[in-house]
Chain A
Amino acid sequence: MKMKMNRLFVKNFELFRTLVVILIGFAISLILIYFISDEPVKAITTYMFKPFDGIRRIGSMIEYMIPIMFAGLGMCMMLSVSQFNLIGDGALFLSAAAVSYFATVLIPNCPPILFPIVMIVAGALIGGGCGAIPAYLQSRFKTNIVVVTLMMNYVLILGGVYMLLYWMRDPSKTYVGSLPIPDAAKLATIIPKTHVSLGIILAIVATVAVNWFLNQTKAGYQMRMIGQNPQFAKYSGINVVKYVIIAQVIGGALAGIGGAVDILGKYDRFIWLTSNGYGFDGMMIAVIAKGNPKHIPLAALFLAYIKIGADLVGTTTDVPLDFVLVVQSVIVMLVAAVSFMSGVRQKAVVKIASAEKAGV
């Protein structure tokens, strides 16, 4: 019996490890709240249970999942070719801004049904373009992709804010916001009393599509091969540069779709003035999912849960919601840590081996 457990543990080690890390992360968040809050019991119960309290809260979790699933899928594409392309944040922001500009100023009279489709395609093109630049620079000039994409994110976000302030700002409002987005452009709400739009279905379709692409198509296989061993891929005749760039363009496009879908599904106006951190969220869930698109929805659900929990803690108690960033970072690093818990695994393997030697 114990042996069986050991075997099960070794076989599903990665899964166990991820679960342990998530528990650790959760524990850290509770400890942080406990020490910082003046009313820890209230804050902790809010954090743990309030996200499930009523259809509106559950709805807000699902709403949060939509953009981060796209960002996470985009990151899966980047990771499939082993590139830490972090353009997701900026691509998502710029595409959301550009789509709002198209919908409010440029073509506000587009026919319904066609309207959201055109907008999402536009978002994909803009995101893909954003993904192409660092990918090209990296392939052609060997520039450090992390630094370039982080720098580009500042530029893209400033660009989005510029569009908001000078191209589509509604002068009749005292706050900074774009002109109202026409109803014809919006994605239909599918759960009443919430903002959960058709976007969640699109996100699931995208998950299936990316999973199919990476695992069932020739191009996807070549990308994964490049990710695992670029030298081998090169010598087996794969055009490494081409596929590395294509993967990152697709990744950027997914983030761009995420921005478009988020704006069209949830907002009446474009009001973002800084990054919402969707890029880092996407990176986190892609890392938790180990770059496997199949696991993105679950990882996104987990993140949406702690994010909405933190949000509620931030609005209803004294604790600033930013503690969740600490938790997210620790989870990312521990999940990515190759040697974390490797000692435990080693012991289990030794036990199995010695039992086998003894002839059990």
Chain B
Amino acid sequence: MSESLLRLTAANLLKDLRLEWRSRDVFNSMLFFALLVVVIFSFAFEPTAEESRRLAGGLFWVAFLFSTVVALNQSWARELRNGVLDAYRVSPSASEALLLGKCLSNFIFVGLLECLMIPLFVLFYNLNSAGSLWKLGVVLFLGTWALVVNGTFFAAMSIRTRNRELMLPLLLLPISIPAVTSMVAATTAVLTGESSPTIHMKLLGAYCVVFTAAGYAMFDMVLNAE
């Protein structure tokens, strides 16, 4: 990775963070949405302590998958409105920096959201992890990156289609099924302590590497698609 790519990525990341710090519209809507999903799930399932550990992994990731979709649609819509994509197309700077910066900023938003939501999850579902917490941290890190990296790429793709916002979940959800399967399996394995999460974590790691590389390789083509 060249130095200019790093600098450009950092500039994009800082720009996104500053914009978000001033408006907070993405983060607030995402936070409220995730909160609503958690509350609605707890009404729908009425989890008791024993079964909640088994359910929590699935509920947690479904809540974040949906709130990530909400956030990602917003993140590119702003760039389109301000003509950033067109500006990027005529500038000589590497377009991959735009993707990487956007991925990192979305990763930070979703990560922050998770930090805020986990205490609430523990509270609502009486959770009490049987496995070690650092493994849960690794699963959270990899799972969030897997959601965000594909989500950012497909959001860039879907804003170029006719029915912009509607398109993202249709493209993202099928691609994400294997990642969701691994995340949920790994989280449940850590929470219940009944099986080892290592193999699911490895698979999730491989998924992250492969799809980050694929997104990185093809973003330029998607941005310049005419």
Q: Tell me whether A and B are bound partners.
A: no
Binding site for A on B (CB under 8 A): none
Binding site for B on A (CB under 8 A): none
